[in-house]
Amino acid sequence: MKLDPNHPRPTLQRPSWKALEGPWNFSLNEAEDPKKVRFDRTIRVPFPPEAPGSGVGEPWVQVAWYRKVLRIKPRPGLRLFLRFGAVDYRAEVFLNGARVLEHEGGHTPFGLELTSFLERPLEVLVRAEDDPSDPEKPRGKQALGEPEGIFYPRTTGIWQSVWLEWVPESHIASLRLRPDLEALGFHLEVQAVGEGDAVEVALFPG
């Protein structure tokens, strides 16, 4: 398989994938119920709403809602996953109005399977919350007010790539590579899903 330099996760690239970067419906609304949210704006993912490139450019965002409608036909023998590179800080994902996933951590990837939802148009909603006053979460150098000195503008919501990927029933779910300096080698841990297939590792120069 030829590697795509634009793939957001080159260490586990699939031959069939689609980037969801670009315009999403958007709302600045602190509601917890998606039925109370009116998507009256557009944002360019994966720019955070504080960034000028997002098309929003709001300096202070605590809760943001995202909406994307997918129209995808099922593929026999394949499963479809939705992947998020990172969402800052707490994320909730809704499929056709039902909350199906919660994730906490502004720098860690996560995802979910969409295969069983492909019989009709699929509405994907993401609620992202980043409370700067919460002492339980890391803040780094994000400003509590106006950016100044060593404190930089805040980052809220989706700020890394979002993509779809098709995988077969038997597939590799995750890889972990640990170098071994004493042995001048490495240890590879593979988490596989499904049965019947062997895992083959190949090394290439360069």
3-state secondary structure of 78: strand
| Angstrom distance (rounded) from CA 170 to CA 107 | 28
Q: What is the pLDDT of residue 3?
A: 82
Per-residue pLDDT of the chain (206 residues; tens, 9 = 90+): 788 888 999 889 999 999 999 999 999 999 999 999 999 999 999 999 999 999 999 988 999 999 999 999 999 999 999 999 999 999 999 999 999 999 999 999 999 999 999 989 999 999 999 987 776 767 666 666 666 676 677 889 999 999 999 999 999 898 898 999 999 999 999 988 887 667 788 877 76
Residue 59 has a pLDDT of: 85
* pLDDT on residue 2: 80
Q: What pLDDT is stored for residue 143 in this prediction?
A: 60
Q: How many CA atoms lie within 13 A of 139 on its CB side?
A: 16
Position 179 scores a pLDDT of: 93
Q: What is the rounded CA–CA span in Å between residue 16 and residue 112?
A: 16
Supply the DSSP symbol for 35. Answer: G
47: which residues sit within 8 A by CB, 6+ positions away? 53, 54, 55, 159
Site of tokens 């080698």: 185
What's the confidence (pLDDT) of residue 7? 92
The pTM of the full predicted model, rounded to 2 decimals, is 0.89
Report the pLDDT value the prediction gives residue 153, as an integer from 0 to 100: 78
- CATH fold label, 10-171: Jelly Rolls (2.60.120)
- Separation of alpha carbons 130 and 87, rounded Å: 9
User: Of all helices (H) and strands (E), which one includes residue 187?
Assistant: strand 185-193
Per-residue pLDDT, 132: 75
Which residues 6+ apart lie within 8 Å of 45 measured at CB?
Answer: 20, 21, 22, 23, 24, 66, 158, 162
